[in-house]
A and B are shown apart, each in its own frame.
Chain A
């Protein structure tokens, strides 16, 4: 399960913008929204006749496989870096 997402944006004419997102606390704060999203996903699975346990199992596996992902793009003096730990 991802613990921390770090985002860094660099511009040629300014200080780099850095953001650390602790996943678990954010999820806890947004818990009501998460519940609504899960319910919406459940209904969508039923509407499109998708196997619900399989869908949620796959989503769970994807969430647990995310740590270690890194996207780092630099162009000239501009750069974006997203890392999931």
Chain B
């Protein structure tokens, strides 16, 4: 309870003002109150919506440019596809990965983990500068 509201209630209790006057004062206080601060976990304004990949290159003297914009919502929907991969396909993929020297267990890859990865993509920026190629990956 804030100080002003307490003062009004004290005056009401002491009989200095009537209940009607107290109600009017409290209403006036609420009208003058500044808007509440945003919650801590509220989404910040300007949250990234797209993943951008920009590549500028010069192959054999010809300039090349790649500009890809993917909605992050599409990535979020895409990671749910992982849950649809049949178990036998994952086992075969694991076997092929092991045979190629990459002992990676795809069955341990959970959609929730991928979703977390996508959620934090907006904090990621990749810049690669080469004499004839520039690559930028970022979220906007």
Please list the residues of chain A having a beta carbon within 8 angstroms of any beta carbon in chain B.
48-51, 54-55, 58, 61-62, 64-76
Contact A75 B71 (CB under 8 A): no
Answer whether residue B136 sits at the interface, using C-beta atoms and an 8 A cutoff. Answer: no
Q: Which residues of B contact A68 (CB under 8 A)?
A: 49-50, 69, 71
Contact B74 A75 (CB under 8 A): no
Please list the residues of chain B having a beta carbon within 8 angstroms of any beta carbon in chain A.
49-50, 59, 62-71, 73-74, 76-78, 80-81, 83-84, 86, 89
- What distance in Å separates the Cβ of B122 from its nearest Cβ neighbour in chain A? 15
Q: Which residues of A contact B80 (CB under 8 A)?
A: 54, 58, 61
Label chain A's interface by main secondary structure.
mixed
Given A72-B66, A73-B66, A65 and B76 contact (CB-CB distance below 8 Å): yes
Contact B86 A73 (CB under 8 A): no
Distance of A65 Cα from B80 Cα, bound (Å): 13
Distance of A49 Cα from B64 Cα, bound (Å): 44
